[in-house]
Amino acid sequence: MQARRDFLRQVLPVGAATAVAFKTDWLERVVAAGAAAADKPAAETAADEGYWREIQQAFTLDRTIINLNNGYTCPSPRVVHEALKRYLDMSNQAPIHYMWNMLEPNIETVRRKLAVEVGCDAEELAITRNASEALQIAQLGLDLRAGDHVVTTDQDYGRMLDTWDQRVRRDKIEVTKIAFPVPTTKLSELTDRISRAITPKTKVIHICHITNLTGQLFPVRDIARMARARGIQTIVDGAHAFAHFPFKVADLECDYYGCSLHKWLLAPVGTGFLYVRRENIAKLWPLTPAAASKSDNIRKFEEVGTHPAANHNAIAEALVFHQAIGIERKAARLRYLTDYWVKQVDKLPRVKILSSREPDQAWGLANVSLDGVDVSKAYDFLWAKYRIITAAIKRDDYQGLRVTPNIYTTLEELDTFAAAIKDLLKNPSATAA
């Protein structure tokens, strides 16, 4: 019990342990499970169903469906959702007082705690509503002139590609979207493809840390170093990376990094962050205009008008939950879950895994292609018959089902998914391309 209290003092704000954690047994169970597994390597704990059963109980879910689309947005653990509701209830008593005078200032606590986990200075971290907003601050805030050149990929997130397309139309910049095979296991090939696309007018390189389509990992630090040596800035889309596998943003050496926290951190919907390297803050325009006095202040990127304080304050609870598990354990479990279903289907005729299975290149996001099967019909088949939710990815160069389990996903659910894929392949008339 003393160890638990010591842990709570370290990870919870002053007074929060009494006000929050002791009302439920969620943290006690998570910490106790972690203590029991403390001497085990993360890879061993990944297969410990007893440990993960304790984690699964921290969520309130609809188990009549199998949610394998956590890459869209994830359900929050009970403690995070309760914090969100508590802050909303508090705000609603008198928003002008409770929201703005009491809750909103606590964003600074969130900023400090989140910056430690992200691996940057708190004065380089803006709290945003999602990765799209964060990345568009960088994309639209850079001073680019007609003829300036941007290098990105044709598998970057659609909204971000649309943003660059608008700058092409409006500002007459030039954008090159490189192609690459899936999967790409030799990461240096990605660096080489980007390097070959650079011209004397290239000002920005925009890449995903891992893509939302197949989970393809990019060698961000190598690309950022190459770019900096040529006077080029780097924007990194980390929507699917942060709290998914271990890294620190400072180690990536990029200029801008945008992320959604309602994905793998399990924070409330409508939370994200933007990292801006300190020397870039003053020269990056905010998406919503801010006073000139804030030109070198990271908070200028948070000027979005009236907004709920509850969402971003509940990030603190999501961090506590995340840290109670530990990123190494979490990443190992996500890898284990993906390996578990992949091994049941990857040898089947007409099945191809479009995601790398190399160590340290893949975790909880993978894409499975079914030859001769229309992916939209496959999605409908899985939902109608098995109540399984995936994501249908349909492109000219490939199509497949994106599968993203989470730490609350059970092996039984993945067994059902694998059986459903086998059933689907036996019903070509229902899913023919």
Give 210's DSSP letter.
Answer: B
273 by Cβ neighbours in 10 Å (0-12 / 13-18 / 19+) ranks as buried
Interhelix angle 327-345/315-325, nearest 10 degrees: 70
What pLDDT, on a 0 to 100 scale, did the predictor assign at position 17?
A: 39
CA atoms of 275 and 268, how far apart (whole Å): 19
Q: For residues 122 and 113, is the Cβ–Cβ distance under 8 A?
A: no
Domain boundary among 274, 297, 318: 318
What pLDDT, on a 0 to 100 scale, did the predictor assign at position 9?
A: 44
If asked whether residues 284 and 337 sit together in one domain, one would say no
For residue 367, what are the CA distances in angstroms to 34, 285, 371, 403? 31, 37, 13, 6
CA atoms of 346 and 404, how far apart (whole Å): 16
What pLDDT, on a 0 to 100 scale, did the predictor assign at position 348?
A: 96
If asked whether residues 232 and 337 sit together in one domain, one would say no
If asked whether residues 339 and 239 sit together in one domain, one would say no
For residue 360, what are the CA distances in angstroms to 187, 244, 276, 335, 405? 11, 12, 26, 9, 18
Per residue of the chain (433 residues), give pLDDT as tens.
444 444 444 444 434 433 334 345 666 777 677 666 767 899 999 999 999 999 999 999 999 999 999 999 999 999 999 999 999 999 999 999 999 999 999 999 999 999 999 999 999 999 999 999 999 999 999 999 999 999 999 999 999 999 999 999 999 999 999 999 999 999 999 999 999 999 999 999 999 999 999 999 999 999 999 999 999 999 999 999 999 999 999 999 999 999 999 999 999 999 999 999 999 999 999 999 999 999 999 999 999 999 999 999 999 999 999 999 999 999 999 999 999 999 999 999 999 999 999 999 999 999 999 999 999 999 999 999 999 999 999 999 999 999 999 999 999 999 999 999 999 999 866 566 5
Look up residue 127 and give its two tokens. 């709290």
Please spell the DSSP secondary structure of 50-114, one letter per residue: HHHHHHHTTS---TTSEE-BTTT--PPPHHHHHHHHHHHHHHHH-HHHIIIIIIGGGHHHHHHHH
What pLDDT, on a 0 to 100 scale, did the predictor assign at position 40?
A: 87
- Tell me whether residue 33 is in a domain: no
Strand (E) or helix (H) holding 40: none
Angle at 369 between CA 266 and CA 378, to 5 degrees: 80
Please spell the DSSP secondary structure of 284-352, one letter per residue: SPPSS---GGGTT-GGGGG--SS--HHHHHTHHHHHHHHHHH-HHHHHHHHHHHHHHHHHHHTTSTTEE
For residue 16, give the amino acid letter.
A
CA atoms of 341 and 345, how far apart (whole Å): 7
- Tell me whether residue 10 is in a domain: no
CA atoms of 36 and 51, how far apart (whole Å): 8
Number of separate domains in the chain: 2
- Tell me whether residue 208 is in a domain: yes
If asked whether residues 312 and 343 sit together in one domain, one would say no
If asked whether residues 161 and 301 sit together in one domain, one would say yes
If asked whether residues 337 and 417 sit together in one domain, one would say yes
What pLDDT, on a 0 to 100 scale, did the predictor assign at position 96?
A: 95
Look up residue 394 and give its two tokens. 């349909």
CA dihedral 198, 159, 248, 138 (to 10 degrees): 70
**Half-sphere exposure (CA, 13 Å, Cβ side) for 268?**
24
Bridge partner residues of 391 (DSSP): 402
If asked whether residues 311 and 360 sit together in one domain, one would say no
Sign (positive or negative) of CA dihedral 229, 137, 83, 48: negative
What pLDDT, on a 0 to 100 scale, did the predictor assign at position 26?
A: 66
If asked whether residues 372 and 299 sit together in one domain, one would say no
CATH of the domain at 376: 3.90.1150.10
- Tell me whether residue 398 is in a domain: yes
Nearest to 28 by CA among 39, 12, 48, 46: 12
- Tell me whether residue 1 is in a domain: no
Domain boundary among 269, 294, 318: 318
User: 């890294």: which residue's tokens?
Assistant: 247
If asked whether residues 294 and 350 sit together in one domain, one would say no
- Tell me whether residue 306 is in a domain: yes
- Tell me whether residue 4 is in a domain: no
If asked whether residues 131 and 264 sit together in one domain, one would say yes
- Tell me whether residue 353 is in a domain: yes
For residue 161, what are the CA distances in angstroms to 151, 214, 379, 401? 11, 17, 25, 22
CA atoms of 216 and 202, how far apart (whole Å): 24
What pLDDT, on a 0 to 100 scale, did the predictor assign at position 433?
A: 59
**Structural domain boundaries enclosing 333:** 329-431
CATH of the domain at 309: 3.40.640.10
If asked whether residues 299 and 359 sit together in one domain, one would say no
CA atoms of 114 and 98, how far apart (whole Å): 23
Domain boundary among 318, 350, 385: 318
If asked whether residues 291 and 376 sit together in one domain, one would say no
